[in-house]
Structure 1
Amino acid sequence: MNMTNSQLYLRLLGYVKPYWRAFAISIIGMVVAAATEPLLPALLKPMLDGTFVNKDDTVIRLAPYFIVGIFFVRGVATFVSTYAINWVGNKLVMDLRDEMFRKLLSLPTRYYDDHATGILISKLTFDVTQVTAAATTVVTITVRDSIIIAGLLGWLFYLNWKLTLLTLVMAPVIAYIIRTISKRMRNSSRDSQRAMGDITQVIEESVTAHKVVKLFGGQQYERGRFHDQANWVRRYTMKQAAAAAANVPIVQMVAAIALAVIVYLVTLQSKADETTVGGFLSFIAAMLMLTAPIKRLTGVSEFLQRGLAAAESVFELIDTESETDCGTVAIGRVRGELQFDNVQFFYAPEARPALQNISLHIRDGENIALVGASGSGKTTLANLVPRFYTPTGGRITLDGHDIHDLTLASLRANIALVSQEVVLFNDTVAANIAYGQMREVSEDEIVAAATAAHAMEFIREWPEGLDTLVGERGVKLSGGQRQRIAIARAILKDAPILILDEATSALDSESERHVQAALETLMQGRTTLVIAHRLSTIEKADRIVVMQKGEIAETGTHRELLARDGVYAQLHRIQFNNHGVD
């Protein structure tokens, strides 16, 4: 995505549009606050000339009221504008976060394969907050200080137009300085945000794998990784700081030279009685007051470049193409007949095929076991059914419909998954069992599903029962308990197609017995794809499909394949000989 600064900024302002009333109030507040600024030097001339020179009683009496009045109006206007612009900025961040999260939920599986979790988290937590500066601080400074500068210059022109023209000589010089430094800050901001994503990734991995880190003595290594990434963030931040720090003093130096020349010329004019005391002090005061808004305006590029670099990162995610759903047929409940016709699949164009020449007919209600060595294509084949990936060649049909023609929602509504890596959310047991149901699920239905999954026997033992919190990723439960809750979730979904991916491989014998019994309940009357390393768990399958290097090597029942003395028989001998040694 290559967008210009103006395109990025206009797109950002598009998110402000729904809140234009609050934005308009903030702008009005800024205008009123800014308008009071030139009134102070303008008030100096009549006040000084009227009190100290002409001894005017009216001016002496009214001057304090004017000063208090100006500061009161400025205070109210500043509060209103600051509150309103921050309200808009926080709404903007919330809307962007919502849109980014919606996009995350719709991204294809390939995107997650290619992008580290930590970097994605960093985009939502860190990058998006940097956008606020571009949307709020930049607008505030630009509007308010532009008006202040215009007002002060107007007053200066009124007092002495010749000298004021000299102040404008520094404008092109300042513009060149700002442009040069802004480019450097933008690049540093982009690098800094990328490095923050890497830091988040290191933290996420270290926290998730804390047991492995402790057991294998990886603390020193992880500390080194974190230190390196934190140091990169520091270096990029210092580059930003150096550019920002150089920006203001250089601009101020240019302004100071111009101011010194002007002050010298004003003093010459006062000697020649071409200006009054009030006029002289008013001019000097207005000149001095110009430096603060000029300083803020020159410093605004720091916020702008940081915000635009963040906006690039945010819009890069938002503009990523969502999972393709070109299906037009919203299928109801299917029978579960699957047909693979010469299916091929590549993870990358230059890689060797993960699957090739896959032709397989699965009858509805049939229990099919997929076996083979690691990397033989078992999981890849199963992942094509719910369209986590799209076949590179050939086609897959469900009840005669090409699954490419089915809407993703209706296709996936017919599929349940139980895998070795059980995904549980940091919520109650009941919420995890009923997860994703589009209807109101009664407690009786949850209990029935948990009972069928052999889960109620341990859920009843907990003081809070179904309301027990499972912890992050179900950390408070044993492996067998997590599996049975996942099975209960699949039972409650009641989908006609079931994918079991190594569902019992990580369990002890006692847990496996319970889980196997629960799985047999779940598999009844469903088309089931069972991926298994442990061949003892799939001997009762209707058919066993043996995968080898992405192709189907042989198919048949357990007895048929043993009698054939091929790949399956060899795998069987290896496993059971090893088991005998154990």
Structure 2
Amino acid sequence: MMDTAKLNESNLVSEKIVKQAAPAAAGKAKWRLFLSLIRNTKPSIPLLTIAVIMSMASTLVGLVIPLFTKNLVDGFSLNNLSWSQIGGIGGIFIVQTIASGLSIYMLNRIGQKIVAALRDRLWRKLLVLPVSYYDNHRTGETISRMTNDTGVVKSLIAEHTTGFFTGVVSIIGSIIVLFYMDWKMTAVMLGVIPVAALFLVPLGRQMFKISKGLQEETASFTTVLTQVLSEIRLVKSSNAEAREYGSGNERIKSLFRFGLKEAKVQAMIAPLMFFVIMMLLVVIVGYGGMRVSSGALSAGELVAFILYLIQIVMPMSQITTFFTQFQKTIGATERIIEILDYEEEDHVTGKPVDRADLPITVNHLSFGYGADGDKVLSNLSFRAEPDSVTAIVGPSGGGKTTLFSLLERYYKPTSGTITFGSDSIDSFSLPSWRSLFGYVSQESPLIAGSIRVNMCYGLEREVSSEELLKAAKMAYADLFISELPEGYETEVGERGVKLSGGQRQRIAIARALLRDPKILMLDEATSSLDSKSEVVVQEALKNLMAGRTTLVIAHRLSTVVDADQILFVEKGTITGSGTHFELLESHELYREFATQQLRLNNAGANETALLS
């Protein structure tokens, strides 16, 4: 069970983010959305401050170097050259290198901690989101939020933020020094920059649009990969390789087209930047040479001008990249907040279940998927007594599995109530309520891992070898497990693909036995098995059902003829209830179902027993 304190803290943090992000959601001050998200990861302010200061110091030291060069050039001669000058310049370079390296490391450390905190919060949130979220969102898109979008946030902090601040300091500092040295040459030099901006700014906007489209297309491609590879057996059994190749190939081509667009813009930006630099150099060298020849400017000052020019032009590309990356980060932040904003299951409030021997009562229950969805269940009412078997039968699509989902509180009813004893099931804490249930479905989901891991899945207590063996015996799973080379340590493969359907079903039953549920739900637990496996699984289910309140969904009526009550559900409505023999007498469609199944099975002896 997830730690309640952590969940509570996650809820409060998420609520805080949502409140802070409300103006951004309305399209105002989107940068606040990003800052609020970062603040809630609690980055190390002292470490961040030191990193920024060291980065700034490195930049400021870099501004001094052209002045040293100016003095060195103006007074250059072998006689005047001293070891102290060489040592001073060398020392400055060493200090700058160390400060820059430490700053980069610290900012990367902060970025990695922030992305780790974001992923931790997202992972905790994803585990407490309701099933309805996963009904409406593709798995691949959710994975992309967890990996790609958090990576974009990290990239901005670790790689681009320091370049932005140091770039601004470098440009402002260089311009101040240049105006001090020679304001006329500085004015001439700066006159070229607006001309370059006319070309570079539109290209920067175009690059942002391309980057955003590339992000979205990458998320779509991740979705396709996840969907296809997770169901690769279905793909192969359906001979759908060509179809899925076509679908994936379209995504690959789309990514290629975005890549080409990006390459075209970059192909224009790089030459333009080179052109601007060369144009500035020509202006400075030409105009500066005239001023040197007239004596208005020294040769050292001209060299310093060229060095400061580099310190102005180079940071411009960093600043442009920062704003492009910032826009991408805002988009990623909005998608992350969308998940954190989603209403989650309440694992904290509610009282514990103190008694399990109480009846489950369904009162006028109705439910439909989505606000405007058609009703799947309509006005259902029944009562399941403790230590009894209630079977739910009827045509496919009648809402039987949805009823189980409502009992486990995966969804909230549109109307009506479900009570346990005299209390609504919503009054119990969610972990306490779900701990009552054991669920065995037709699919018998297993996780990648050993048989032991799957049998003990979800249990917080240590399970002894004796308990494991006893559960396996009661589930009729001990024989086939003992025949496996590694026994209980045998790996079952992804979703249990290395085991047969009957073997997976028996492990699921053993898992339910170890869980010791008070309420058991069986959803078509034997419908996909062959007759031999079904006999074994049925015996295992009898062991599992003993002494428990049991609800069974079944198409094979032969498996539920001994149920204490049978509910016949058609199109979300109960049209008949009673024992097997009562329904044979009173419910025409049930009698038709029973007759058809017995004819198909050619079970003459059973037909006599069932219909007599």
Fold conserved (TM > 0.5)? yes
Q: CA distance change for structure 1 residues 234 and 182 in 2, over 3 Å: closer, same or farther?
A: same
Distance 2:26 2:138 in 1: 23
How far the C-alpha of 1:247 sits from its partner, in A, is 4.8
Q: CA distance change for structure 1 residues 310 and 396 in 2, over 3 Å: closer, same or farther?
A: same
**What is the aligned counterpart of 1:528 among 550, 569, 577?**
550
Q: CA distance change for structure 1 residues 344 and 79 in 2, over 3 Å: closer, same or farther?
A: same
**What is the aligned counterpart of 1:51 among 63, 76, 85?**
76
Q: Corresponding residue for 1:157?
A: 179
1:37-48 to structure 2, matched below 5 A, reads 37-48=62-73
8 Å Cα contact 1:108-1:388 kept in structure 2: yes
**What is the aligned counterpart of 2:128 among 106, 131, 150?**
106
Distance 1:12 1:533 in 2: 50
8 Å Cα contact 1:134-1:308 kept in structure 2: no
- Residue 363 of structure 2 corresponds to residue 341 of structure 1: yes
1:85-484 to structure 2, matched below 5 A, reads 85-169=107-191, 180-181=202-203, 183-243=205-265, 246-247=268-269, 249-250=271-272, 253=275, 257=279, 260-324=282-346, 327-484=349-506
Q: CA distance change for structure 1 residues 135 and 176 in 2, over 3 Å: closer, same or farther?
A: farther
TM-score by length of 1: 0.93
How far the C-alpha of 1:351 sits from its partner, in A, is 2.9
Letter in 2 for 1:313: R
Question: Alignment partner of 1:17: what SS?
Answer: coil
Distance 2:204 2:309 in 1: 26
Distance 1:252 1:221 in 2: 47
Q: Corresponding residue for 1:515?
A: 537
How far the C-alpha of 1:246 sits from its partner, in A, is 4.4
Letter in 2 for 1:489: R
Distance 1:285 1:337 in 2: 85
Q: Corresponding residue for 2:21?
A: none
How far the C-alpha of 1:512 sits from its partner, in A, is 1.2
8 Å Cα contact 2:43-2:110 kept in structure 1: no
8 Å Cα contact 1:182-1:305 kept in structure 2: no
Distance 1:174 1:361 in 2: 78
8 Å Cα contact 1:326-1:404 kept in structure 2: no
Distance 2:558 2:207 in 1: 62
8 Å Cα contact 1:375-1:549 kept in structure 2: yes
8 Å Cα contact 1:189-1:305 kept in structure 2: no
Distance 2:339 2:200 in 1: 30
Q: CA distance change for structure 1 residues 273 and 109 in 2, over 3 Å: closer, same or farther?
A: same
- Residue 32 of structure 2 corresponds to residue 7 of structure 1: yes
Letter in 1 for 2:47: A
Distance 1:379 1:467 in 2: 33
**What is the aligned counterpart of 1:35 among 60, 68, 75?**
60
Deviation by residue 1:313-348 (Cα, 9 ceiling, x = unmatched): 222222222125685222234224100110110113
**What is the aligned counterpart of 2:571 among 549, 557, 564?**
549
Question: Alignment partner of 1:38: what SS?
Answer: helix
Q: Corresponding residue for 2:9?
A: none
Q: CA distance change for structure 1 residues 562 and 518 in 2, over 3 Å: closer, same or farther?
A: same
Deviation by residue 1:393-422 (Cα, 9 ceiling, x = unmatched): 011101211012222111111111111111
Q: CA distance change for structure 1 residues 483 and 429 in 2, over 3 Å: closer, same or farther?
A: same
Distance 2:575 2:192 in 1: 80
Distance 2:271 2:343 in 1: 45
Letter in 2 for 1:196: T
Distance 2:337 2:265 in 1: 25
Distance 2:603 2:277 in 1: 86
* 523-532 or 174-183, larger mean C-alpha shift: 174-183
Aligned residues: 579
How far the C-alpha of 1:243 sits from its partner, in A, is 4.5
Identity of aligned residues (%): 36
* 480-489 or 68-77, larger mean C-alpha shift: 68-77
Q: CA distance change for structure 1 residues 326 and 84 in 2, over 3 Å: closer, same or farther?
A: closer
- Residue 517 of structure 2 corresponds to residue 498 of structure 1: no
How far the C-alpha of 1:299 sits from its partner, in A, is 2.7
Structure 2 gaps, min length 5: 1-24, 605-612
Distance 2:212 2:113 in 1: 24
Q: CA distance change for structure 1 residues 391 and 542 in 2, over 3 Å: closer, same or farther?
A: same
* 15-24 or 394-403, larger mean C-alpha shift: 15-24
Task: Say what the alpha-carbon RMSD is for the aligned residues.
Answer: 2.5
Letter in 2 for 1:164: T
Q: Corresponding residue for 2:13?
A: none
Deviation by residue 1:45-84 (Cα, 9 ceiling, x = unmatched): 11011224xx662x44333212321221122112211211
8 Å Cα contact 1:342-1:394 kept in structure 2: yes
How far the C-alpha of 1:505 sits from its partner, in A, is 0.9
Q: CA distance change for structure 1 residues 235 and 364 in 2, over 3 Å: closer, same or farther?
A: same
How far the C-alpha of 1:439 sits from its partner, in A, is 2.5
Letter in 2 for 1:320: Y
8 Å Cα contact 1:185-1:243 kept in structure 2: yes
